[in-house]
Structure 1
Amino acid sequence: MLPTIVTGWERIEFRSMTVALVVLCLSFLVILNKKKGKLPPGPRAIPVLGNLHQLDTTDLVKSLKELSNKYGPVFTIYLGQKPHVVLYGYQAVKDALVEQADHFSGRGDFHVVQKFTKGNGIAFSNGEKWKILRRFALTTLRNFGMGKRSIEERIQEEAHFLLEEFRNTKQNPFDPTFFLSRAVSNVICSIVFGNRFEYDDKKFLTLLELINDNFQIISSPWGTLCNIFPGFMDYLPGPHHRIFRNFEKMKTFVMEQLRKHEETFQPDCPRDLIDCFLTRMKKEKDDPESYFNMDTMVMTTLNLFFGGTETVSTTLRYGILILMKYPHITEKVQQEIDKVIGRNRCPAVEDRSKMPYTDAVIHEIQRFTSIIPLSLPHCVIRDTVFRGYFLPQGTEVIPVLTSVHSDPEKFKEPHTFNPDNFLDESHRFKANDAFMPFSTGKRICLGEGLARMELFLFFTTFLQNLIFKPTTHPDMIDLTPSTSGVGNLPPIYEFRVIPR
């Protein structure tokens, strides 16, 4: 084989090609770095895992607090290979979700749910689809009574049914989980489906069990790992595989309701949200770009059903536990109920303005428990400059709502349950802009008004008529969440109810 002879010209050409290749690589790195943006500082990530080794998946809030102590109120963590900007404390969350509300209005990736919804529905859609569906849902909910006297009467009626169920326990200990979820769910059912379900309806009970099971799993380390490593977790055995199966069973329940509605549908006389959706579907059936189709109807219905059931019923369940731990607070609420409402009529929403202590206790329950501690994930919808950092479009954002509710600059002794957080020196109710149990900004929960009404009417109805008796001494009641992830879930407990 003849040796290769390299001439002087070829050497020059080779050097030129090498220089050009180096320049090209450097240019690529500059472009890549620019695209990556100047993200806030954070702990060093390792390949594949990111910062997972520095996070306690059983208590993410605690881990994020420790990182915030080191890196400040705005920092970056990597969940797997994807960066997430964490907002910790009232000011950071407010600056992003309120002051730059539009920029931070995107819904971030939430694999365990999006695998099922595929971007349909209200909670997990983005862009124009989200805006149109949210506007439709808000209008329809208001038309069917949200914030009005008609829905107040439905809640009062359901509170009465639940009261009878409590009384039927005949002072024996019981777990309140599904007692509460049946009542709360029936309120949203009356708006979405146009009717309530009997408490012994087997299909209804099965649906509530599926919702509860999914909330438990999604809030557990299994749910956290599914969101970070979806591909890997698909091959790993565990309870997380029930999430998708449960969603499919929920979908079957909703589809049955939709078919019943189609059979009796009268476009000139809408009975509920589903009828309104069917009307819009038929109106836009020839529009290929319409967002009103069967998929979005099913997912929108499930979003409202899930959100309108689990968060409120969990707050009630946690609240009862807190009231049993602090009987002196419960007694003061009951004194105010007796003074303002008495024992002979149902509590009404208009009573709330005359009951500052009761209102403060309910707000404090929501603040103290932070049922959705990390909010749902956000993302920036365009390239965004925030506090001197550059967040490229699509950057995932985690607003830590618990950090807002425990901000020492906004609440005295934030880790102690204290209704005075919402009372002024004259014992009048005092609002606090760091109260964000429904999140804030463009993605604030659209059912906030309904939830506030439910919490007031259910709690006051309970305490007007019953005494809560724990199965252990109040000092022994532990308020630490049994699970802390997407949701803060109270410990499982039993209690007894005694007529007042």
Structure 2
Amino acid sequence: MGLLAAATVVLLVCIACLLSFATWRGRSGKGKMPPGPAPLPMLGNVLQVKPKNLAKTLQKLSEEYGPVFTVHMGSDPVVVLHGHDVVKEALIDRADEFAARGHMPIGDRANNGLGIIFSNNEEWLQVRRFALSTLRSFGMGKRTVEERIQEETGYLLEEINKTKGTPFDPTFMLSCAVSNVICSIVFGQRYDYKDKKFLALMNNMNNIFEMINSLWGQEKEHPNSNFHMKNLITTTFDLFTAGTETTSTTIRYGLLLLLKYPKIQEKVQEEIDQVVGRSRRPCVADRTQMPYTDAVVHEIQRFIALIPLSLPHTVTKDTCFREYVIPKGTTIFPVLSSVLHDSKEFPNPNEFNPGHFLNENGTFRKSEFFMPFSAGKRVCPGEGLARMEIFLFMATILQNFTLKPVIDPQELNITPTLSGTGNVPPVYQLCALPR
């Protein structure tokens, strides 16, 4: 009986696989869904797609199936866009059709469709516009924000000075510094780096980022309004999470890369000394006079590809794309790392080289392949603030300190600990020696 039961199970599995394969063959091809590996029933492409290194897995699949292909995450199909041309075509050239946010379990559970990051349709448009206009009224894009960042760099320097050249982990110090900029904009005040509630918030945001790898206006007496308190609180939290963890993680990863390549750190410091000197703090206006430092900042963001797959998009109706049809509601992954690591635009893309953003005469070289903040209608609303923060915090740290690793630079590991939704740098310590 046992053998008969086992044989029956095997037979049923085989039939299910055949049916799944037949269904897959019928749905993919020209005029249908993009091609991709055959999925297993319920399990999808679990054999081909490795969650711990999703970007590399998808790169290999793109070599076999082309720049537009389908993988199955469980039973759900996901269309992958791999390479600059298809990502640009979808997110920029056809922005309206691909602007909707796809489902993401943590976003569905935590935000329940509210806020900026995971919302859609008119609600998303209204909340995004309101957030941007409110932030602008608080000084976003104006000199007042630059002054807030410069003020916070002073507190950060004090904290680094307290280490007295001994090894320390910069994670929470950087998170507090970056978050205080948002706090000063939204709440009109900053918080001490040792404040227990503030540190708890930093810890929670750090955990949330790893799990996924003041906005106040009308209230509920306007029942059809999207500006009710729960939505505004969620939107504020979106700003804190997106505006703290992404920027502080980029800076933290950047410092690790400068520990790994001390000659690059020295060249940045030489340029800072030449353009800014030691008597004043760096400002945004210095950036145009500091092409090498600007190139290093861009190369950090390109190299680490912090959010390699972007956040998921979707289409709100059946959409013809290239020679295929993407059904309404299909999740879409525009792979940003495939653009940032394009070997034609950036020779030897897996090497950290500021020369990727420098012309032969040493001037800064712009590239339309630079998409760390995504592109199109879902581009990060805080891109301007983030770029300002990364430049000012890094330039000010290097103006005042020489960073030394606690082990031989050649032994430093710069491979991210997570390579799914987000690239998080490995834990490390550094010594900051006053210059």
User: What is the TM-score normalised by the length of structure 2?
Assistant: 0.92
Partner of 2:201: 207
Rounded Cα–Cα distance in structure 2 between residues aligned with 1:193 and 1:47: 51
What's 1:225 paired with? none
Equivalent residue for 2:10? none
Q: Is the 8 A contact 1:93 1:399 kept in 2?
A: yes
**Counterparts of 1:314 and 1:393 in 2: how far apart (Å)?**
35
Secondary structure of the structure 2 residue equivalent to 1:52: coil
C-alpha contact (below 8 Å) 2:27/2:33 kept by paired residues: no
Q: Which residue number in structure 2 is paired with residue 498 of structure 1?
A: 433
Structure 1 segment 295-334 matched on structure 2, within 5 A: 295-334=230-269
Residue 342 (structure 1) shift: 0.3
SS for the counterpart of 1:385 is strand
Q: Which residue of structure 1 aligns with residue 168 of structure 2? A: 174
What is the CA–CA distance in structure 2 between the aligned matches of 1:160 and 1:338, rounded to whole Å?
A: 18
Q: What is the CA-CA distance between 1:104 and the residue it aligns to?
A: 0.4
How far apart are residue 281 of structure 1 and its match?
1.3
Computed over aligned residues only, the root mean square deviation of the Cα atoms, in angstroms, reads 1.4
Alpha-carbon distance in 1 for matches of 2:190, 2:32: 52
- Choose 1 or 2 for highest CA Rg: 1
Whichever residue aligns with residue 61 of structure 2, its letter is L
Cα distance in 2 for residues equivalent to 1:391 and 1:69: 21
Tell me, in whole angstroms, the C-alpha distance in 2 between the residues paired with 1:201 and 1:65: 44
Q: Is the 8 A contact 1:181 1:208 kept in 2?
A: yes
Aligned to 1:12: none
More displaced, 193-202 or 303-312?
A: 193-202
- Tell me the percent identity: 55
| Residue 353 (structure 2) aligns with | 418
CA contact (8 A) 1:105 1:381 kept: no
Deviation at residue 33 of structure 1 after TM alignment = 6.4
Asked if 1:104 is matched to 2:111, the reply is no
Amino acid at match of 1:352: R
In structure 1, the partner of 2:413 is 478
Among 342, 361, 367, the alignment partner of 2:296 is: 361
Shift of 1:217: 2.8
Using the alignment, how far apart are the partners of 1:194 and 1:130 within structure 2? 26
Could you tell me which of 318, 323, 343 is aligned with 1:383? 318
Q: Which amino acid counterpart does residue 153 of structure 1 have in structure 2? A: E
Count matched residues: 409
For structure 1, the 5+ residue unaligned runs are 1-28, 220-272
1:336 to 262, 271, 274: 271
Q: Structure 2: which amino acid aligns with 1:200? A: K
Following TM superposition, by how much is the alpha carbon of 1:81 offset from its aligned partner in structure 2, in angstroms? 1.1
1:403 equivalent in alignment to 2:403: no
Per-residue CA deviation, residues 374-419 of structure 1 (Å, 9 max, x unaligned), is: 1000001222111111112211100111111111121111111111
Instruction: Find the partner of 1:293 among 213, 228, 231.
Output: 228
Match for residue 149 of structure 1 among 129, 138, 143: 143
Q: How does 1:429-468 map to 2 (within 5 A)?
A: 429-468=364-403
Alignment of 1:232-311 (within 5 A): 273-274=214-215, 277=216, 280-282=217-219, 285-311=220-246
| SS of match in other structure, 1:186 | helix
- Structure 1 distance, partners of 2:101, 2:180, is 28
The structure 2 residue matched to 1:345, chosen from 254, 275, 280, is: 280
Question: Match of 1:120?
Answer: 114
Find the counterpart in structure 2 of residue 160 from structure 1. 154
Matched, 1:136 2:71: no
Q: Corresponding residue for 1:47?
A: 41
Whole-angstrom distance in 2 between the partners of 1:310 and 1:112: 16
CA distance in 1, matches of 2:96, 2:185: 29
* CA distance in 1 between partners of 2:331 and 2:365 (Å): 34
SS of 1:135's partner is helix
On the 8 A contact 2:70/2:78 being kept in 1, the answer is: yes
Structure 2 match to 1:11: none
Q: CA deviation at 1:113?
A: 2.0
* Residues in 2 aligned to 1:440 and 1:205: alpha-carbon distance in whole angstroms: 32
CA contact (8 A) 1:102 1:442 kept: yes
Deviation at 1:69, TM superposition (A): 1.0
Residues 192-251 of structure 1: per-residue CA shift (max 9 Å, x gap):
2221111111000011111112222332xxxxxxxxxxxxxxxxxxxxxxxxxxxxxxxx
SS of 1:153's partner is helix
Between the aligned partners of 2:45 and 2:51, the Cα distance in structure 1 is: 11
Distance in 1, Cα, partners of 2:329 & 2:372: 25
CA distance in 2, matches of 1:145, 1:217: 32
Aligned 8 A contact 2:42 2:74 in 1: yes
Partner residue of 1:234?
A: none
Shift of 1:286: 3.7
**Is contact 1:466–1:497 with CA below 8 Å preserved after alignment?**
yes
Alpha-carbon distance in structure 1 between the residues aligned to 2:151 and 2:87: 38
Measured in 1, the distance between the counterparts of 2:234 and 2:149 equals 24
Q: Which runs of 4+ in 1 moved over 4 A?
A: none
Per-residue CA shift, 1:227-286, capped at 9, x if unaligned? xxxxxxxxxxxxxxxxxxxxxxxxxxxxxxxxxxxxxxxxxxxxxx33xx2xx214xx44
- The answer to whether the Cα contact below 8 Å between 1:378 and 1:396 also exists between their aligned partners in 2 is yes
Number of the residue aligned with 1:264:
none
> Residue by residue, what CA displacement relative to the aligned partner does 1:135-187 show, whole Å, maximum 9, x if unpaired?
11111111111111100011001111011100100111011100100000101
* AA in 2 matched with 1:347: P
Q: Is the 8 A contact 2:107 2:113 kept in 1?
A: no
Task: Return the offset for 1:364.
Answer: 0.2
Distance 1:54 1:33 in 2: 19
Unaligned runs of 5+ in 2: 1-22
